[in-house]
Amino acid sequence: MKIALVSPYDFAYPGGVVNHITALEHCFTEMGHEVKVIAPVSRAASVFDDRFIPIGRPRAIPTNGSIARITLSIHLAARIKQVLAEEHFDIIHFHEPFMPMLCTAMLRFSNTVNVATFHASHWHPLYGALSPLGARFFERRARKLDGKIAVSRVAMAFAQRYVPGPYTIIPNGIDLKRFTPEVPKLERFCDGKRNILFVGRLEPRKGCIYLIRAFEQVKKELPDTRLIVVGPGTRLRHKYEKWVAKRRLEQDIVFTGFVSDEELPRYYRTADIFCSPATGRESFGIVLLEAMAMGKPVVASNIEGYASVITDGVDGILTPPRDERALSRVLISLLNNSTLRREMGERGRKTAQQYRWEDIAQRILDFYLETLEKASSKKQEPGSRQPVKAA
């Protein structure tokens, strides 16, 4: 089968959607399928070599407390038509299909079988660029989707507000070969202190400030503790570092910035507890799975996306979002109970086994086959789509 995986986001920057597509490409290629990844990219190099088709130059757009690196060019049509005419894909899989501009334009010109995965659990302001014809736009583009996937129930509930109809829930996956307790720890953090780990972009919605404030109380009661903050971000990092310096916690809170894919599992391995205090708008929680796959107990906010992964009190503990006092109490209690940490970590490891990327990819492939079969039965109906012609 010839498959196109389309991302609206800059493929030079890691992120949930980019990582999801990367894992799918690897699994499908291993299965023997021909896969092409199509995305805007800010750097020429790509891990996929000739399996990557760049379309559009991305720009960093500050929005919704985050940065969206997408192409806003309105001059993509000729290149898209050329690619579609040359490649003759059996199926095109759009990720966030209504994010401008690449996905929306490619969906417009595609006359093959189209499926989409909806990752988000909240409205993205860039969609507002579609107004005042937004409703009509969604209706027209949605008619071109032959199948719809959501990564969680909360993502499905959100997507159905704008694109009604049936969805199949297929979650994100985890690479258990990479995230394994067998990787070595980071020696510089193995000095007798107990380590709390945060992994995520330094954006307001990730809630890192609540963990930093909670850690101040943790440190007072348990002096032999350290907080390690892993993830990119400049503006908020400076703000957090000033707060930390004012309270003389510089030796106890470490900001690493971005770390490589190769190093990241070692940070999880070194941690005693993983904490993700996001304030909301998380449709799933891949960082939770990464920690669980490493056998680490998880403390996370009690938000819908996280609650779909964590069973409270079993493989992790859920706390009220934006409540640093409750968070500090849970962290202190768990740090004082090595038996509970070990048991939660073991149960989390078992939970993560259910999300192996190989199994998730097979479920998506089965969805493709079902969708292709349904589309084939309609092929001869009036108004059926024909292969696109190059302009």
pLDDT digits (tens, 9 = 90+) for 327-372: 999 999 999 999 999 999 999 999 999 999 999 999 999 999 999 9
pLDDT class of 390 with cuts at 50, 70, 90: very low
Q: Are residues 22 and 69 in the same domain?
A: yes
pLDDT class of 132 with cuts at 50, 70, 90: very low
Does 194 reside within a domain?
Answer: yes
pLDDT at position 37 is: 97
Q: Are residues 222 and 308 in the same domain?
A: yes
The two structure tokens encoding residue 254? 């470490």
Q: Are residues 138 and 231 in the same domain?
A: no
Q: What is the mean pLDDT of residues 234-239?
A: 89
CB 47 within 8 A of CB 25: no
pLDDT at position 229 is: 98
CATH (domain of 125) = 3.40.50.2000
* Domain with 81 in it: 2-173+356-377
Cα-Cα-Cα-Cα torsion 166, 353, 260, 33, nearest 10 degrees, comes to -60
pLDDT class of 147 with cuts at 50, 70, 90: very high
Does 76 reside within a domain?
Answer: yes
CA distance 265 to 242: 28
pLDDT digits (tens, 9 = 90+) for 40-99: 998 765 567 889 999 999 998 876 567 788 998 889 999 999 999 999 999 999 999 988
What phi, psi does 109 have (nearest 5°)?
-95, -10
pLDDT at position 179 is: 97
Q: Are residues 57 and 196 in the same domain?
A: no
Average pLDDT, the chain: 91
For residues 129 and 234, the model is more confident at 234
pLDDT at position 310 is: 96
* pLDDT of 386 higher than 60: no
pLDDT digits (tens, 9 = 90+) for 179-219: 999 999 999 999 999 999 999 989 899 999 999 999 999 99
pLDDT digits (tens, 9 = 90+) for 314-330: 999 999 999 999 999 99
Q: Are residues 157 and 247 in the same domain?
A: no
pLDDT at position 391 is: 35
pLDDT class of 384 with cuts at 50, 70, 90: low
Q: What is the mean pLDDT of residues 10-26?
A: 92
* pLDDT of 388 higher than 90: no
CB 85 within 8 A of CB 92: no
Q: Are residues 95 and 206 in the same domain?
A: no
pLDDT at position 62 is: 75
CA distance 62 to 89: 34
pLDDT at position 389 is: 42
pLDDT at position 162 is: 83
Q: Are residues 10 and 65 in the same domain?
A: yes
The dihedral sign for the CA sequence 118, 122, 125, 129: positive
Does 180 reside within a domain?
Answer: no
Q: What is the mean pLDDT of residues 238-262?
A: 95
**Comparing C-alpha atoms, which of 275, 256, 144, 104 is closest to residue 198?**
275
Q: How many domains does the chain have?
A: 2
Q: Alpha carbon of 268 to those of 184, 337, 355: distances in Å?
A: 10, 19, 18
